[in-house]
């Protein structure tokens, strides 16, 4: 198993709740365990996270807390998460 697949699996195992709002990737993107050693390299979605999912987790679409999520945009494209690959380490960059 590659390092990328291992990280993806661990993040999904840790955070994903089939009964909660959002897809697995949306839930991992919105992970709030900031002191986790995998947080900065966790998989994140590039697609917008629907307002309903944000509200489920108590996040308003224009909430400043989105600024703490790498790739989150609170501007006109709020809720659209950009690729955070520039934050990957050389050992994780390019692994799929």
Is the pTM higher than 0.85?
A: no
Domain ranges in the chain? 3-85
Residue 85 has pLDDT above 70, yes or no: no
A 10 A CB-CB count for 32 gives 12
For 23-71, what is each residue's pLDDT tens digit?
999 999 999 898 999 999 999 988 888 989 999 998 888 877 776 665 5
């Amino acid at each position: 198993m590659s390092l990328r697949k291992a990280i993806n699996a661990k993040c999904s195992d840790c955070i994903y709740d089939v009964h909660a709002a959002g897809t697995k990737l949306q839930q991992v993107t919105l992970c709030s365990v900031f002191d986790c050693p995998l947080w900065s390299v966790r998989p994140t979605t590039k697609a917008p996270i629907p307002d309903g999912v944000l509200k489920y987790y108590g996040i308003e679409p224009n909430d400043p807390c989105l600024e703490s999520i790498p790739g989150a945009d609170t501007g006109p494209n709020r809720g659209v998460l950009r690729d955070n690959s520039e934050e990957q380490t050389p050992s994780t960059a390019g692994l799929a």
